[in-house]
Structure 1
Amino acid sequence: MKLRYFLFIASFSLIFTARCNQQKAEQDLPNSIRTVLESRLPNGDLEIAKEHIYLTGLLNEFYYFRNFKPAWTQEGKLTCQARELHYQIQQSQFDGLFPSDYHHNAIEELFVELDSINERGSQVPENKLSQLDVLLSDAYMRLGTHLYFGKVDPEDLTAGWNIPVKKSNPQLPNHLETAIRKKNIAESLESLCPSFPIYQQMRNFLRDFVNLEEKTNQWKKVSEAKMIQPLERNKDIPLIRDRLIFWKDLVPYPVEDEEVYDSAMLEGVYRFQERYGLNQDGIIGKATLEALNESPEDLIQKVSVNLERLRWLPDTLIDNRFIVVNIANFQLDLMQHGGRDTLLTSTAIVGRAYRSTPVFSAQMSYLVFNPVWTVPPGILKADVLPEIKKDLEYLEKKHMKVFTSGGQEVDPNKIDWRNAVADKFPYLVKQVPGPHNSMGLVKFMFPNKYNVYIHDTPEKELFKKDTRAFSSGCIRIQKPFELAKILLKEHPDWPEEKIEEAIQAGKEQTVSFKAKIPVVVLYLSFWTDWEGKPQIRRDVYKRDKPLYEVLSSRK
């Protein structure tokens, strides 16, 4: 009986001593956290467990206002919020981000070590608790920064992204403090993501592609050497059929001859071409074969870079009514109610790769019927002036005239074209109104530094192409008159009859809008439509790969 009593007293004493020691460590922890934050390398950097600490300013602010008390442990044990943050770091891969950027491995190792110490009933070293606390806080705020602003600064890319970035500040120290108090780490991080519904939908597709990629041992390429017509025989048909089944554009079915492109397979090709924005002609040509060769890994990268592009967009970019042009989709949409309703969709032609249409936003303020086209300096130098030097009749053939800056017409025969230099050319070359005009019969103006606008075109046949990058940067649309009629509906003095009369008149006429309309010119090669279906497009300007390289680099 005495022995049992002695053992009980001894055990209680050990537990009491361990608890007292742990309580003392808890009391000393704020000082330890302060010491960790003040411990710098000779170059001024802060490093913990061989991990660079990025947001020291925000960390100091966060811990100062909580008197340097620990945020992620209690009595030497990890809180549920700490484990939730660890899980959210793992899940960041489905935002197209990389867990290693948020101290994932170091945090995981410290978790294992702390859990092991606690299981043994030993005291957790004070320095381990303070280091882990700062690591977790830095991880939260860095992940939050990337979710809110994006990881990559678009200004660091050679391909311009000229839409203003978010100006608001998420106040991450306060955001984190609130999340810890309310115990809603997951919800708080989600609130920092773009509010566009397609963001979460795209995130789900990225998760699907990651799962598919893990199940795909080897992705065999389909030969792109030959176009395949329906009912033709080709040795690659079995692989193409399997590929359509893999992407669920086709359900498995009994096949009589595996190498024949049969009618059942044709339906799957139609669905596949629709998702990729290709002409649904059923012909397995170069563009369709190129799309069929995109692997789950390729699509992981494609979704990742487009999630990043969405993070660059400010939430205040869109209004009740706005126009969005997706360059990669060769399409214009007029939308209202914040993007919930589409008033008009029109096929578009955008700039050639070497004269790419810029990504930017502006306010459309007026339109012009029967516009006069003043040849921009770049086109004058690259195209028009060389053609005039070869043949002076080029001006007459293209219905062009020469004017002084004051608007007086000049006889082209009196100009020394041989010695004319575009950079010092004292005249303006203008194309007169008419169906031959490069602007067509109507143009929509949203003043910008790129001299880019939306307009009609006489080259209607180009709208039938799969890839429609043919312009010198401006955006040509297939339905300019439909767009004009919708935009002028709020102008009682411009009924449809008057619009038709203005077009037929053949004279330049400007109409100002009562309210300016936001125009957003984007570059998205992957997104989801209003039904939540994935839409995949060719990277016509080859911008995805360079962005992914920067996105996946350790910064």
Structure 2
Amino acid sequence: MGHLVNVAGAKLRSFSLVAGLALMAGTVAAPMAHAQVTAFRQAVAETAARDEDVAAFYRARSFEGIWSGDSAVGHRNALLSALENAGHHGLPTNRYDVDALIAQMQSARTPAELGAIEVLLTKTFLQYARDVQSGVLRPKSVDPLIVREVVYTPRLDLLAEFRNSNPTTFLRSLPPSSPEYTRLIAAKLRLETLQANGGWGPVVNAEKLEVGSTGPDVIALRNRLVAMGYLDRSVTASYDAQIVAAVEAFQRGHGLEVDGTAGPSTIAELNRPISERLQSIVVAMERERWFNQDKGDRHIWVNLADYSAQIVDFGEVTFTTRSVIGATPADRATPEFSDVMSHMVINPSWYVPRSIVTKEYLPQMQRNPGAAGQLLITDRNGRTVNRSNIDFNRYTARTFPFSMRQPPSNSNALGLVKFMFPNQYNIYLHDTPAKSLFGREVRAFSHGCIRLNDPFDFAYALLTPQTDDPEGLFQRLLRSGNESRLNLEQPVPVHLVYRTAFTSNSGQLEFRRDIYDRDRKIWNALTREGVAVPGVQG
């Protein structure tokens, strides 16, 4: 280890590692060198013993080091360079303190000290690799409704692949390779630079601005829209057609009602500081790391925060529709997970979930036995029970022995079609008779399932790969009035995600409100781990 190493990173560093090992051939007598190597390996064994995986790795190597000697220069430099750039990924850089590592390397003299730094480098590599590949946090520990299953590469596999690969290439392969992750990194850097250069300028203090408005508040609005990239440089001091178009573009990019008027909700989003937007980007990058896996050549992408459902084919969005998601109380919010859509049910019955039966309908029927008359009451064998024969006040939510079902109809709560990806959360996509809700800006009204604005067109798009006449096939079954199951010949992965910061098809950075407060929880958890963004207000 007695040589000079140059480390690429935020700044060029050099340091020397002094080793009293046989690695420095010819500098010490053979018996002494052997004793030092033995002492080094003993130190590695003792230090590694605290970590089962690390201990197993070194035990398989007879406790020989992987960071020692001239042959390890490339691996050391690659790791230190990656650690220098960890902040670009929104990672907690204090976890991998490069300055402290270098200082310890420089000061290491004895075999015990060299063995300790050997194991420390391995543990630091494993920590960084896990963080940048699969995320800093475990989703379920942040919010119980983030039930995404993160794929973790076994630590011993990471070490083996790193040792047997080009180290720089291997480390660069760890973060998500998705275009979205790359664009988020670029957006983070762009906003950090903009913030360092003064941000978006003064906030807009008006409550409402519209066509015909003039004065300093319009100028502040204009300047902020220019700084955000929604308006070309302009000297206008009045709310003209250019500003209307820019406000509309801003509204589209932030999930707001698009009317060209800067009302209270639009101004509130305009005035959010860059630091807050940076937090959203960092959270989105963490979420992308949780999802560092194949999403499927064809898949369904439901962004809960965007109230949208899309079909994606080979990276291109081929269909999109508005959606309604679970309401904000935790017992109605839609969870985040992935599964596989296997079939659709046309003219579905609605089998009312037990929680809705006991919490909502039983109290209604106790007050009025004829309440919820559109629903059939069934026994445990599925047979319809005459509700006039039931004394609802005899039962509690725990003891109520009946189920409830709504037969197929235009007024069925599921509409005329539901799309099934059987899962333990009883969540699916479906039609709805409540069409007016799709015109709302905030669309969180369901009991957890996702309602679609264009369910028939969604069905046709899903069926296109398996029939020349998807609309005809669907409509024939629909017109029958019978409940029908229609299988997808090629099941389609479904991903229920929650992204308040993302890029559009054109690459434009967009933001949505944190309707479930999940991103705030993630950000707070990341800050506890040491993640930080520049705090200067935008």
| 3-state SS of 1:512 partner | strand
How many Å apart are 1:543 and its aligned residue?
Answer: 0.7
* Structure 1 partner of 2:399: 424
Residues 94-131 of structure 1, C-alpha deviation per residue, up to 9 Å, x if partnerless? 212011111333124347x57xxxxxxxx966666554
C-alpha separation in 2, matches of 1:495 and 1:155: 39
Look up the equivalent residue of 2:456 and give its one-letter code. Answer: F
C-alpha separation in 1, matches of 2:385 and 2:55: 69
Match of 1:37 among 29, 32, 44: 44
C-alpha separation in 2, matches of 1:33 and 1:278: 63
Tell me if the contact between 1:433 and 1:506 (Cα under 8 Å) persists in the aligned partners: yes
How many Å apart are 1:508 and its aligned residue?
Answer: 2.4
| Residue pairs, 1:343-354, within 5 angstroms | 343-354=318-329
| Residue pairs, 1:124-273, within 5 angstroms | 129-166=114-151, 168-169=153-154, 171-179=157-165, 182=166, 184-185=167-168, 187-216=169-198, 221-223=203-205, 226-233=207-214, 236-255=217-236, 257=237, 260-273=238-251
Distance 1:20 1:497, change over 3 A: closer
Look up the equivalent residue of 1:413 and give its one-letter code. Answer: S
Look up the equivalent residue of 2:163 and give its one-letter code. Answer: E
**Are 1:87 and 2:81 counterparts?**
yes
TM-score (norm 1): 0.81
C-alpha separation in 1, matches of 2:472 and 2:142: 48
Match of 2:516 among 530, 538, 541: 541
TM-score (norm 2): 0.83
Tell me if the contact between 2:412 and 2:433 (Cα under 8 Å) persists in the aligned partners: yes
Match of 1:383 among 352, 357, 360: 360
How many Å apart are 1:491 and its aligned residue?
Answer: 4.7
* Structure 1 partner of 2:478: 503
Look up the equivalent residue of 2:507 and give its one-letter code. Answer: G
| 3-state SS of 2:348 partner | coil
Distance 1:548 1:45, change over 3 A: farther
Tell me if the contact between 1:103 and 1:139 (Cα under 8 Å) persists in the aligned partners: no
How many Å apart are 1:195 and its aligned residue?
Answer: 2.9
C-alpha separation in 2, matches of 1:417 and 1:235: 65
* Structure 1 partner of 2:418: 443
Distance 1:270 1:495, change over 3 A: closer
| 3-state SS of 1:394 partner | coil
C-alpha separation in 2, matches of 1:200 and 1:146: 16
C-alpha separation in 2, matches of 1:156 and 1:191: 27
How many Å apart are 1:542 and its aligned residue?
Answer: 0.5
* Structure 2 partner of 1:120: none
* Structure 1 partner of 2:15: none
C-alpha separation in 1, matches of 2:469 and 2:516: 39
Tell me if the contact between 1:324 and 1:334 (Cα under 8 Å) persists in the aligned partners: yes
C-alpha separation in 2, matches of 1:232 and 1:420: 62
Tell me if the contact between 2:408 and 2:416 (Cα under 8 Å) persists in the aligned partners: yes
Matched residue pairs, number? 503
| Residue pairs, 1:467-486, within 5 angstroms | 467-486=442-461
Identical amino acids, percent of aligned pairs: 27
Residue range with higher mean Cα deviation, 537-546 or 305-314: 305-314
C-alpha separation in 2, matches of 1:27 and 1:531: 62
The CA RMSD over aligned residues, in Å, is 3.2
C-alpha separation in 2, matches of 1:534 and 1:526: 7
Residue range with higher mean Cα deviation, 423-432 or 323-332: 423-432
| Residue pairs, 1:26-105, within 5 angstroms | 30-31=37-38, 33-38=40-45, 56-64=51-59, 68=63, 70-72=65-67, 74=69, 79=73, 81-105=75-99
C-alpha separation in 2, matches of 1:32 and 1:268: 69
Residue range with higher mean Cα deviation, 375-384 or 18-27: 18-27
Residue range with higher mean Cα deviation, 95-104 or 524-533: 524-533
Match of 1:297 among 275, 289, 293: 275
**Are 1:408 and 2:383 counterparts?**
yes
Residues 331-364 of structure 1, C-alpha deviation per residue, up to 9 Å, x if partnerless? 1111223xx2333111111001111111122222
How many Å apart are 1:437 and its aligned residue?
Answer: 1.5
C-alpha separation in 2, matches of 1:147 and 1:336: 27
Look up the equivalent residue of 1:172 and give its one-letter code. Answer: L
C-alpha separation in 1, matches of 2:28 and 2:226: 59
Distance 1:408 1:138, change over 3 A: closer
Tell me if the contact between 2:376 and 2:405 (Cα under 8 Å) persists in the aligned partners: yes
Match of 1:334 among 291, 295, 311: 311
* Structure 2 partner of 1:359: 336
How many Å apart are 1:474 and its aligned residue?
Answer: 0.5
C-alpha separation in 1, matches of 2:164 and 2:39: 23
| 3-state SS of 1:488 partner | helix
Residues 285-326 of structure 1, C-alpha deviation per residue, up to 9 Å, x if partnerless? 34323322332221222122221122222524x333221211
* Structure 2 partner of 1:512: 487
Greater Rg by CA: 1
Tell me if the contact between 1:231 and 1:263 (Cα under 8 Å) persists in the aligned partners: no
* Structure 2 partner of 1:14: none
How many Å apart are 1:233 and its aligned residue?
Answer: 4.6
